[in-house]
A and B are shown apart, each in its own frame.
Chain A
Amino acid sequence: MGRSFFVLDMLVGTYLWKHKYVVRSVLSLFFIPIFLLSGLLSPGPCATDSGTATEVRSVTKTLSGAVELCLDCHKERPDTAHGREVLGCSVCHRGDPLAGSMEAAHKGVVRNPGELRWVDQTCGQSGCHSKETGWVKNSLMATNRGIISTLRYYWGETDDHAEDISVEMLRTTGLDSPAVDYFRKLCGSCHLWMEKGSLPDFLARKGGGCTACHHLPADETLPKGERHPAIVRKIPMENCVRCHNRSGRIGLSYQGLYENEGYGLPLENGDFTERSLEDGRFVSVLPEDIHHQAGLVCTDCHTQREVMGDGTRHAHFEEQLEVTCRTCHGDVSMLDRIADQALREKAGMSRGDAPPAFPRLSVEKRDGAFALLGKNDGKPHALDPPDPIACAHPTHKRLSCSACHATWVPQCYGCHVKGDASRTQLDKISLRETPGRWQEFKGFMRHEAPPLGVLKDRHDMEEVVILVPG
């Protein structure tokens, strides 16, 4: 009789998945007694000779009363927001929570629910994070739109510096050109469509869709069977730097790490440096960013809308930014509004589905002074106004803050790329070895005296900014 129940269960599996919350609770009222009775009549808990259970031994349910047979075998404990007793396993990992055999239950299971390939059925399913996954799929981190179009613009393949070519488009259409092939082979590992673990070595830790950022390793103090990665809102800096450490080297520079030339310059105490990154690049220590020194992480300034996008198909990162230095340092009326918004949101007075009117920064106003609360540690950081003379002097009106306050910048001169059609290389988008191998060389590196130039924005406002080669 137990077997008959499982056949019936498999037949209606599709229907159950679509209406899982309601149906599973209703089913539990009717079938649990039958199921338990079947257990009495059948030979008992099913187990292999080795002792590993392959069929369920008891009817397990979530707190809402939904049958979730996965919990009978799986004892992993995710974070509290995704608690096993609340969601069970199948809401995120799919599979069939009503199937009684391991094989049937694991059909369609996904190891990493955050992968963009199936995120609409997992994190982005209705009732969970559908809005956010929609934004993310359009974001620059998922599309790499800016990188691809800039490369093609640099390489003289297009006059349009804002083409709408995405990683997903490369994946599905096979679109190629010398610049695109270079992207596929050297840049293609750092985007959110990259499935975690599909590349070798340190590259295996990149990508993973939502979990590229919202992932913390499992708590090692838990018993082995209960370990489960945590899905978090507090993004540790390491998760950002895992990708943001090349090109402009922002993730390294922020921490005071400068990628040096690595061929034996006496860079530390008159001796060769021993510091290197996981990919083998040598680094030396320079003054860290003052915000890093104060304990601020990337997401303290780079808001959800900047990072995850807002659904708009921006071409470049500067179009996606909503926070500048002046947001926190100088514009008191803006700070007032941001602090008021933060207070309202804290009190549960949200704007529903409407996007926040001002950047969602954790700004607090106390005794007339503003402070930014660290997103991850809650520590207050005083938001000082800029120097009223040097910064506010009319002769410096066009200067960006970083033109003066960023005292060093990695400058890689003499970028030389070799494309060898006689060899092959892994295409990191298609995950296939294809003809053409790209190799990068450089002339020399410098970090001092950041060169300046002028950027005219889309409103025709000119700003003096830092220029770097490349």
Chain B
Amino acid sequence: MISFLDGTGVWKRDFIRFTASWMDPHTTQKKGRICVECHTDPRAIGLGTGSLSLINGSWAFTPALSPLGIPGIHHPLDAFVSVDGTPLVHTSRPGLRPFSGREIRSVLEVGLCLECHRDFTDPVMKAWVPGHPPKPCEVAKEKRR
């Protein structure tokens, strides 16, 4: 947000735009984030801090922070995308975007399985083919209800 003050120091107008850029933070660790740190954490997906729930097969997200409450930005500052995949930010490059709704659902679907099938040492995870998730087991079916 940019506030412009005139020659007498009085507020004239605001330019409001929420932007995101991409970067390599240069904080590399040998051990990367574990599966649940991305697949079950709404912050990693770009939704921001809050609670995720699966209701009747649909994902819902309740943000922990209040919406900013200024014209043009009706979401918390740490939200880059809504749970249905609507981008909430401008980006620094034309080819840069937050996850789409389909991508968000795919990431979270995997998260449902991680409680039992914790990582790639698990045969189910190891055999997971992109775009062709394994048939949901009874636990997964229960979770989706």
Contacts and interface: CB of A to CB of B under 8 A. Distances in A.
B139 to A, nearest CB: 20
Contact of A155 (B2, B9, B37, B119): B2
A289 interface: yes
A400 B121 CA distance: 21
A406 B27 contact: yes
B17 interface: yes
B11 to A, nearest CB: 9
B96 interface: yes
Contacts of A178: 2, 4
A451 B44 contact: yes
Contact of B19 (A290, A407, A451, A470): A470
A408 B3 contact: no
A422 B8 contact: yes
Interface stretch (A58-66, A93-101, A188-196, A454-462): A454-462
Interface in A220-256: 248, 250, 253-254, 256
Contacts of A417: 1-3
Contacts of A82: none
Given A250-B25, A449-B37, A450-B44, A418 B5 contact: yes
B41 to A, nearest CB: 5
Interface string A292-319: 0000000000000000000000001000
B22 A287 contact: no
Contacts of A155: 2, 15, 17
Interface string B10-33: 000001011111111111111011
Nearest to B90: A154
Given A407-B27, A456-B95, A467 B3 contact: no
Nearest to A389: B120
B128 A409 contact: no
Contacts of B55: none
B9 A422 contact: yes
A454 to B, nearest CB: 6
B39 to A, nearest CB: 11
Interface in A428-470: 443-444, 446, 448-458, 465-470
A390 B89 CA distance: 31
Contacts, number: 199
A325 B25 CA distance: 13
Contacts of A449: 37, 41, 43-44
Given A287-B27, A289-B28, A390 B119 contact: yes
A19 interface: no
- Interface magnitude class on chain A: 35 or more
Interface stretch (A200-208, A366-374, A391-399): A391-399
A442 B45 CA distance: 23
B contacts with A: majority SS = loop
B5 A154 contact: no
Interface string A382-426: 000000011001110100111111111111011111111111000
B120 A406 contact: no
A421 B99 contact: no
Interface in A146-167: 150, 153-156, 161
Given A389-B120, A409-B23, A467 B98 contact: yes
A250 B26 contact: yes
A175 interface: no
Nearest to B37: A449
A286 interface: yes
B111 to A, nearest CB: 13
Contact of B32 (A156, A316, A404): A404
B27 A452 contact: no
A291 interface: yes
Given A451-B44, A467-B22, A397 B93 contact: no
Most-contacted residue by chain A among B33, B119, B129 (CB, 10 A): B33
Contacts of B68: 414
Interface in B42-88: 43-46, 68, 77-78, 80-81
B24 A406 contact: yes
A357 B125 CA distance: 40
A161 to B, nearest CB: 6
B48 to A, nearest CB: 8
A99 to B, nearest CB: 50
Contacts of B144: none
Contacts of A154: 17, 19, 90, 92
Contacts of B136: none
B92 A405 contact: no
Contact of A468 (B3, B20, B30, B95): B20
Contact of A253 (B1, B27, B96): B27
Contact of B77 (A289, A408, A443, A455): A443
B19 A469 contact: yes
Q: Which 3 pairs, one residue from A and one from B, show the smallest C-beta to C-beta distance?
A: A404-B32, A456-B95, A409-B25
Given A405-B28, A466-B22, A466-B25, 11 more contacts: A150-B21, A154-B92, A250-B24, A250-B25, A406-B29, A409-B25, A416-B2, A446-B78, A453-B97, A467-B20, A467-B22
Interface of B: 1-9, 15, 17-30, 32-33, 37-38, 41, 43-46, 68, 77-78, 80-81, 89-100, 103, 110, 119-121, 126, 128-130
15 contacts: A150-B21, A161-B92, A286-B27, A291-B28, A393-B126, A393-B128, A402-B25, A406-B26, A422-B5, A449-B37, A450-B25, A450-B44, A451-B43, A452-B45, A453-B98
Interface of A: 150, 153-156, 161, 178, 248, 250, 253-254, 256, 286-291, 316, 325, 389-390, 393-395, 397, 400-411, 413-423, 443-444, 446, 448-458, 465-470
